Amino acid sequence: MKKKDKMYYKKYNLNIESDFDIHTVREVDEDIDLAILLKKRTLNLYFDEEFKIINSRFQFSGIDKIMIRFNKNEDSFLATIHIINSLNSDLQSMNFEINYSDIFIEVKNDEYSVDMRINKSN
């Protein structure tokens, strides 16, 4: 199987590196929704050591997509991350808000799962 090129999203202060396609699914006024399709994969969510609040990771089974909702305003650094179970509905496993002013998000394909990392920018 041919390895897919990485996708990069670097706009409006938001930085994402992904092994999966990143799609803009909604853009209304100042708001943007990005989707990263995972196709019913297990998602492991990790936080950088600096943000460490748990010992290992959060794990979600059967995830269809990650949706990131944020504002294009250059002074805004808040985004909501939605972990969604079904492409046909907004059935969520979880959602949480982040301040992305000094972080970058990595979404990496692993053999049996997907790793999403919230990392401190260098």
Tell me how far apart the alpha carbons of residues 52 and 38 are, in angstroms, rounded to a whole number.
25
Residue-wise pLDDT for 42-93, tens only, equals 999 998 876 666 777 889 999 999 999 999 988 889 999 999 987 666 666 7
CA nearest 102: which of 24, 2, 15? 15
CA nearest 78: which of 68, 86, 66? 68
CB-based contacts of 14, cutoff 8 Å, min separation 6? 68, 70, 79, 100, 105
Q: Which pLDDT score, from 0 to 100, does residue 1 have?
A: 40
Q: Beta 58-71 vs 31-47: how paired, if at all?
A: antiparallel
Q: Which pLDDT score, from 0 to 100, does residue 47 have?
A: 87
